[in-house]
Amino acid sequence: MIEEKMLVLLRQGRISKWFSGIGQEAIAVGTTLALDEDEYIMPLHRNLGVFTARKIPFAKLFMQWQGSKDGFSKGRERSFHFGTNEYHICGMISHLGPQMALADGVALAHKLNKEAKVSVAFSGDGGTSEGDFHEALNVAAVWNLPVIFIIENNGYGLSTPVNEQYACAQLADRAVGYGMKGITIDGNNILEVYNTVKEAREYCIKEQKPILIECMTFRMRGHEEASGVKYVPKELFETWGKKDPLSNYEQYLQQEGLLSDQDIERIREGIRKEIEDGIAEGFAAAAIVPDTAEEVNDIYKAHNGAARAPQGNASSEMKMIQAISDAMRISMKKYPELVLMGQDIAEYGGAFKVTEGFVEEFGKERVRNTPICESAIVGAALGLSLKGYKSMMEMQFADFVTVGFNQIINNLAKIHYRWGQNADVVVRMPTGGGVGAGPFHSQSNEAWFVHTPGLKVVYPSTPEDAKGLLIASFDDPNPVIFFEHKALYRSVSGPVPEGDYSVEIGKARLVQEGSDASIITYGSGVHWAKEYAAKHPELSLDILDLRTLLPLDYEAIKASVARTGKVMILHEDTLIGGIGGELSAWITEHCFKQLDAPVLRCASLDTPVPFSIELEQNFLAKARIEEVMKKLLAY
Sign, CA dihedral 512-517-521-523, equals negative
Contact 469, 522 (CB under 8 A): no
Amino acid at 631: K
* Sequence-separated (6 or more) residues with CB below 8 Å from residue 283: 14, 66
DSSP 609-621: PPSSHHHHHHHSG
DSSP 12-77: TTSSS-----TT-HHHHHHHHHTS-TTS-EE--TT-HHHHHHTT--HHHHHHHHTT-TTSSSTTSS
* Sequence-separated (6 or more) residues with CB below 8 Å from residue 549: 446, 450, 457, 458, 459, 522, 579
Cα–Cα distance between 390 and 387 in angstroms, integer? Answer: 9
- CA 470 remoteness from chain centre: 19
Q: Which of 45, 441, 527, 571 is catalytic?
A: 441
441 is catalytic: yes
Going through 264-423 in order, the beta strands assigned E by DSSP cover 315-319, 338-342, 367-369, 390-394
- 554 burial level (CB within 10 Å; 0-12, 13-18, 19+): middle
- Distance, first Cα to last Cα, the chain: 74
Cα–Cα distance between 427 and 536 in angstroms, integer? Answer: 38
Q: What 8-state DSSP symbol labels residue 300?
A: S
What residues are annotated to the active site? 441
